[in-house]
Amino acid sequence: MALTVTYQGYTPACLRVTAEDAAAPERRSDNLIEQSKLASDEDRKLIIAVYRQKNWSEQLQVEVASYATPDCTGTAIETRRLPSAVTLSAKGSEPAALALLAKDDDGDGYPAETKSDSAIQGTDCDDGKANVYPGAKAACDEKDGLNTDFNCDEKLDCNGANCSGFGDEKCGSGHCVEGICCNTACNPQGQCYSATCATGTCQEEALPSTTACDDGLACTSPDKCDGAGACISTEYCPPPNECKKNGSCANDGSCRFEVDASMLGKVCHENGNTGTCLQDGTCRWFKYAVTGNFTPADIATNNTIEDLEIACATTFDSTALTWTSSQCSFATPTPVTTSADVVVIPVRNLTVNAPLRMVGSRPVVFAVYGDATLNSEIRANSVFAETQVGAGSEVRCGGRTGGEGLVADDASGGGGGGLATKGGNGGTTDGGLVGGLGGAAAGSGFSPLMGGCRGGNGLGANPTKPGAGGAGGGALQISVAGRLTLKSVVTVSGAGGKGGNSANNKTASGGGGGSGGMLVLEADQLVADVAARLTANGGGGGEGGSIAGVVYYNGNNGVDGSTSTVTRANGGAGGGDYGGDGGQGAAGSSGPSNGGNGSGEHGAGGGGGGAAGRILLRGVTSCSVDTGSIISPAPIKTGGACP
């Protein structure tokens, strides 16, 4: 075969000519032709005689491959085969031709990439520039050379080249900064510097001294650049309230302060709130809306607020505003009287370690700006054996006071006082004449703060003595900005009514029992443990007097409302055969009962039982009430997490 090979645009470094038996392709023979044997003139034509070997068929196929290496190793630049095998004649030669089409127009020795012809594996990415080829060094100083991929690795080799729209991988440096190939990532050494790369070389300069910065310290302000590349600021630690002083920067960048001991218990302000300074320098205020019988901010405005610890048995009189104890002396807070005639006792922290008795004519509010722990009892209840009644007893009673007995001769009983419900009615006379009506129920809610109401007095004709109605329980509110812990009795229960007597063939009726008062216990966090006892029970009515033949019987007194159980207070009974028993006072879920009716020849009616008062439990953030604690009556729970 006379094979003509043309290579018009590229002179290979080596040609591999392969002949094979078309009938048996495994029969093949290679021959290498060095570049020195190839013409490099314009003709660029090579004629090769190709012979079949002995025992081959007459069908001959030929393949020619060009290489960039002198020994035809590596990947071929171009490979071409005859379109079909050539049948050789017995004599003479058969002509055939193959054209190698790879080009090297710029003469740099690297054939051009020819994506339209898959047979050509050219490597020159720009065959119009002799200085662009695989491995070429960048000529960044040449005109129009900035945006050139000189070494054909698909990256721009010169810093300053335009990489807009691409990422870092487009630049030979690996850094595309704001659309320009740059020598570095061009990150400024600090926030006070600016960095630009307009020419391909990163340029940094310090920002002007008016530029804001952040030195990472919370205790400095304002932070500004110094014009020399640093953020140096003014230490700024103003105390958050009047309870602290001498602010300075700590190592972690936060502000630290000293506690101003001279402000302990005094008024402070923080974030628009008015409170009082605690020992740790905290300004504590009520973060919830207290039940509206006082305004915390007004109470704290002009007073130094101290801790109050009850260490021995103590009595507070809301009429005289005095503290009395025969066993110890202690610093007492200054009470404040509001326009609603409520006595407010502002304290920083309240601790009750001994019994505290609350008496007097006005309701009492403890305004505690810290925490309160009641390890011992607070009693604002009333008892028939004492001349002093629970603080705030009978405040705002009006129609809630029990009605007096209506008939004097063998009298009818007085009605019980009302509050949560109506009081019990007084019993009738032996002749069936009606007794005094029970006091009415109060409207809902816990503001205004009101006490329990007195039971109605019994009646009696001279010289008999009617039974006096029992006093109502007191009115007490304990509002705590922090945590209120209850571990003992807090009570506003009512007193029992007294029994009527008999003389000169006349009998007197029993007085009605007093109703329980109002108790408000609220805090941000409220805990009532197993020893807590919260009560506002009603007192029992007094028994009516009676005469049996020539025997005169005085009626027995009713029992005071329990201070620590849900047991109903019994009315007076057992004084004689015909006097009406007093009605039971309310407790738990049981309401008061009516007084018993008089009977026989001379029997006076018993007084009606007193109604229960009202209890509010309110833990705004958290509330825990132990299931073993006895609370009577069942409290109203509102404003937070009380179960």
Q: What is the pTM of this model?
A: 0.67
- pLDDT above 70: residue 40: no
Query: Long-range contacts of range 83-89, CB-CB < 8 Å, 24 or more positions apart?
Result: 85/22, 85/59, 85/60, 85/61, 86/1, 86/59, 86/60, 86/61, 86/62, 87/58, 87/59, 87/60, 88/1, 88/52, 88/58, 88/59, 88/60
Which amino acid belongs to residue 90?
A
Which amino acid belongs to residue 183?
N
Which amino acid belongs to residue 443?
G
Residues 6 or more apart whose Cβ sits within 8 Å of residue 92: none
pLDDT at residue 521, as a whole number: 97
**How far apart (Å, rounded) are the C-alpha atoms in residues 564 and 587?**
11
- pLDDT above 80: residue 639: no
What is the 3-state secondary structure of 203-236? EEEECCCCCECCCCCCCECCCEECCCCCECCCEC
What's the angle, vertex CA 55, arms to CA 54 and CA 57, rounded to 5? 110
Query: For residues 74 and 68, is the Cβ–Cβ distance under 8 A?
Result: yes
**Please, is 135 exposed, middle or buried when counting C-beta atoms within 10 Å of its C-beta (0-12, 13-18, 19+)?**
exposed
pLDDT at residue 192, as a whole number: 83
- pLDDT above 90: residue 140: no
pLDDT (tens digit per residue) in 69-90: 999 999 999 999 999 999 998 8
Higher pLDDT, residue 250 or 609? 609
**How far apart (Å, rounded) are the C-alpha atoms in residues 379 and 534?**
10
Query: For residues 243 and 278, is the Cβ–Cβ distance under 8 A?
Result: yes
Query: For residues 131 and 138, is the Cβ–Cβ distance under 8 A?
Result: no
Mean of pLDDT values over 29-55: 86
- pLDDT above 80: residue 574: yes
What is each CA distance from 101 to 11, 98, 112, 118, in whole angstroms?
11, 10, 10, 11
Residue 300 pLDDT grade (very low, low, confident, very high; cuts 50, 70, 90)? low
- Number of residues in the chain: 643
- 3-state SS assignment for residue 593: coil
pLDDT at residue 303, as a whole number: 66
Place of tokens 């260490």: 311
Mean of pLDDT values over 353-360: 97
pLDDT at residue 312, as a whole number: 96
**How far apart (Å, rounded) are the C-alpha atoms in residues 377 and 373?**
11
- pLDDT above 90: residue 199: no
- pLDDT above 80: residue 8: no
Higher pLDDT, residue 356 or 461? 356
- pLDDT above 90: residue 250: no
**For 610, which DSSP code?**
P
pLDDT at residue 275, as a whole number: 86
What is the 3-state secondary structure of 468-489? CCCCCCCEEEEEEEEEEEECCE
Name the percent of the chain lying above pLDDT 90.
59
Residue 296's H or E segment, with its range, is helix 296-300
- pLDDT above 90: residue 589: yes
What's the angle, vertex CA 431, arms to CA 428 and CA 435, rounded to 5? 20
Residue 437 pLDDT grade (very low, low, confident, very high; cuts 50, 70, 90)? very high
pLDDT at residue 4, as a whole number: 93
- pLDDT above 90: residue 253: no
Longest dimension (CA), the chain: 174
Higher pLDDT, residue 380 or 246? 380
In our burial notation (b when 16+ CB lie closer than 10 A, e otherwise), range 287-304 reads ebebbebbebeebbeeeb
Name the percent of the chain lying above pLDDT 70.
97
pLDDT at residue 614, as a whole number: 96
Phi and psi at residue 298, in whole multiples of 5°? -65, -40
Domain ranges for the chain, please list them. Answer: 2-103
Per DSSP, the residues of 448-461 read: S-----PPPP----
Mean of pLDDT values over 63-68: 94
- pLDDT above 90: residue 479: yes
- pLDDT above 70: residue 302: no
Mean of pLDDT values over 23-39: 91
How many other CB atoms are there within 10 angstroms of residue 548's CB atom? 16
pLDDT at residue 5, as a whole number: 92
Query: How confident is the prediction for the chain on average, in pLDDT?
Result: 90
Which amino acid belongs to residue 121?
Q
pLDDT at residue 455, as a whole number: 97
What's the angle, vertex CA 36, arms to CA 33 and CA 40, rounded to 5? 105
- pLDDT above 80: residue 141: no
Query: For residues 513 and 569, is the Cβ–Cβ distance under 8 A?
Result: yes
pLDDT at residue 641, as a whole number: 62
Residue 30 pLDDT grade (very low, low, confident, very high; cuts 50, 70, 90)? very high
Residue 167 pLDDT grade (very low, low, confident, very high; cuts 50, 70, 90)? confident
